[in-house]
Structure 1
């Protein structure tokens, strides 16, 4: 399955190049290019940047070093995954990571030398998670089908809980758009309709439909999970161009008797907030007491320190930073920095995409105030099955964390 993915490895050590190439070959990768010259490697990337799936680069190299590589990749707007191979001091690596983010690169982590197969495999998995937005167009729903789904109310919200394992409370549920086609058992996930929705300019209609149905069902959800639970709703940065957005959302939400503070609006980090209209809309949502969440942190271009200047009440750490976190010092450094800032600014920090017990146990023990979300806890589900899930979750974990699952 990796035969079409081209990986470029840059290191001044022939031995390191051979080790990495051998390990990647064992994983099934066939298109592997190794280079000791960073300048020649960048010439290759410049000629065909879309052909390179991932770049692995050392930091300390004679002449043209890894920092030069990161800067040049940023200048050519390289869209693939980038990883650092280095045995340098963690502070140097962390600063290099900040530089990569400032260059708007998709940095997936850093592995130290001597390189371990498991660490390299985790990077490959992270690259897949981060770059998974490049959907297969043959599987996308057509614009006609999506319009039909909106007209016939086939677009529905599924809800995924966010839980705190210290308090054992469900802090909020995220409303996620699904399309339920007649005669099909499984709901259609966003990867099959969201690109078409964005291309056809239907995102306002999709959000409006999900907001309306979720608002109607929220009272039932509170009856199941408690009066303090909140609801998360995804917004596209494009929707922030509408200066009337806050008023529109408020009218729908309050029509069903809910307080503004009970709604968290989640904005993906993948697209940067770019202009004053978006910033004004963002600020007006907070003026109206809606919560604001920065979704998918780690996939986009927000520097950790920029969080101090934007009125977010929640930050969601992307799955790509959670994979293998119990043995990934780079990801641990990012999450620790986020946890410190979240504590200072009274921001709720959420780790999303929890799929393995080892990740869950590490996060609960290391970051007790973290809110957790993922398939290991609950998949997105319709309101009708939330109560059964909650009863099962309460039975499994009880009122304390003593019943945490074991590896």
Structure 2
């Protein structure tokens, strides 16, 4: 099945250029509309719409109104905003779309850089569809069968120190090697497992696989591994005791494990959350606040949690090289982290311009993103522990 891309652009020449670019992507079918109303009609008619590229400022129904109307669709596509206006407008559109429920949202300033736009579109389609054909229906029974047949595995994305240009940390990411659909990302199974209180089964598998990696591979010496904690596991004392036992069996120090929680998770039922985190920190685990910048965390909240790490969300990092409003936000956030003595990770480093900006202005940040290294299985990881030279190194020269 092809990936369906819808372009909403009132300029015929721009629309033609975008359509031509999109058709360079494999397996796509492109639909074109000259205004928001026509685009909405097409969006309602296309059975499986994967990606919408829309100009923000169009006569009649503009791109923002189009996205508001599309938020009522049964299945929401990925979104790419385009605009020649100030960068702050694009950033605001992205945040508004995310609040409306769109999971995969990007933006690109006009005039577009064809290579940058194509790279973003490829990534968005991969995330939207999991790298597979668009129509995939997964049940809890399918997931449980996959777990029973050892179809789930861990991929790892390196996190780099800028001074040494070496990986110092690996984030463990769950993948499903589905017998019919190929490699599936977490959007196909994490939500269902959490909803049905079955996330423990997958988390234990990820923990054991990651601890075995640290225990059995000499080249992992000195590396930390980040593991994501779900809401149910954060308050599960039995899971914490089991984790300690697994580490003691392999003689792995707790300081090599980074337990990641999201902003939303951290401040739901704050008393119990704080008690759980204090217990983990007492035993020597590293604690990270993930996706920082997407919620409503205050300085007081961050101060009260026993954190060792702050992960700056990709929405703060994307297009940081030209988004002047984000410059002030990022500076304030980094200054706060430094004052609290926190290690900080910039997530979502996807292009050479953002990479170069961070190298110049924030050399103490750890960096993570597709521009530096893609997630990989353990057997391909060793050669990725130094950031992918030519691209990254030449960009910082």
TM-score, normalised relative to structure 2: 0.68
* CA positional deviation for 1:66: 3.2
Task: Tell me by how many angstroms 1:352 deviates.
Answer: 5.5
Give matches, 1:327-406, under 5 Å. 329=322, 337-338=329-330, 340-345=332-337, 346-351=342-347, 363-365=358-360, 367-373=362-368, 380=376, 382=378, 389=383, 393=386, 405-406=393-394
Note closer, same or farther for the CA distance 1:275–1:175 as it changes in structure 2 (3 Å cut): closer
Taking the TM superposition and a 5 Å limit, the aligned residue runs for 1:167-246 are: 167-168=164-165, 170-176=167-173, 191=185, 195=189, 203-215=199-211, 218=214, 225-226=221-222, 229-237=223-231, 239-240=233-234, 242=236, 245-246=239-240
**Count of residues in correspondence between the two structures:** 371
Cα drift, residue 123 of structure 1 = 3.5
2:14 is aligned to 16
Deviation of residue 256 (structure 1)?
Answer: 5.1
| Preserved CA contact (<8 Å) 1:146 1:197 | no
- CA positional deviation for 1:34: 0.9
Alignment of 1:120 onto 2:117:
yes
**Cα distance, 1:350–1:115 mapped onto 2, change above 3 Å:** closer
Matches of 1:51 and 1:249, distance apart in 2: 42
Across the aligned residues of Structure 1 and Structure 2, the Cα RMSD in angstroms comes to: 5.0
1:347 Cα deviation after fit:
5.0
State the secondary structure of the residue aligned to 1:131.
Answer: helix
Identify which of 87, 104, 119 aligns with 2:101: 104
Cα distance, 1:144–1:51 mapped onto 2, change above 3 Å: closer
User: Within 5 A, what are the aligned runs for 1:296-335?
Assistant: 297=291, 303=294, 306=297, 309=301, 313-315=309-311, 329=322
Q: Give the drift of 1:9.
A: 1.2
Residue by residue over 1:299-323, the C-alpha shift from the partner in whole angstroms, topping out at 9 and shown as x without a partner, is: xxx726547656563326569976x
Q: Give distance in 2, aligned partners of 1:404 and 1:16.
A: 31
- Rounded to whole Å, the distance in 1 between the matches of 2:106 and 2:374 is 27
1: CA distance, partners of 2:255 / 2:126: 32
d(CA) in 2 for partners of 1:50, 1:333: 38
Partner of 1:33: 32
Q: Which residue of 2 aligns with 1:5?
A: 4
CA offset digits 1:254-274 (Å, max 9, x no partner) = 5655554442123579xx649
- Relative distance call for 1:284 and 1:103 in structure 2 (3 A) is farther
State how far apart, in whole Å, the 1-side matches of 2:86 and 2:315 are: 26
Cα 1:134–1:165, aligned 2, differ >3 Å: closer, same or farther?
Answer: closer
The 8 Å contact of residues 125 and 131 in structure 2, kept in 1 or not, is answered as: no
Give CA deviations for 1:36-74 in whole Å, capped at 9, x if unaligned: 2x24433543x3576322222233334543332333334
Residue 88 (structure 1) aligned to one of 85, 88, 104:
85
Determine the C-alpha separation between the residues in 2 that align with 1:247 and 1:317. Answer: 30
Gap change, CA 1:91 and 1:41, over 3 Å in 2: same
Residue pair 1:351, 1:372 contacting (<8 A) in 2 also? yes
Gaps (5+ residues) in structure 2? none
| Mean CA deviation greater in 369-378 or 25-34 | 369-378
Q: Which residue in 2 is equivalent to 1:184? A: none
Aligned equivalents of 1:5 and 1:68: distance in 2?
Answer: 21
Which residue of 260, 263, 267 corresponds with 2:257? 263
Q: Which runs of 5+ in 1 are unaligned?
A: 182-187, 398-402
Deviation at 1:124, TM superposition (A): 1.6
User: Once the 2 structures are TM-superposed, how far is the Cα of residue 208 of structure 1 from its aligned partner?
Assistant: 1.6
TM-score (norm 1): 0.66
Q: State the partner residue of 1:286.
A: 277
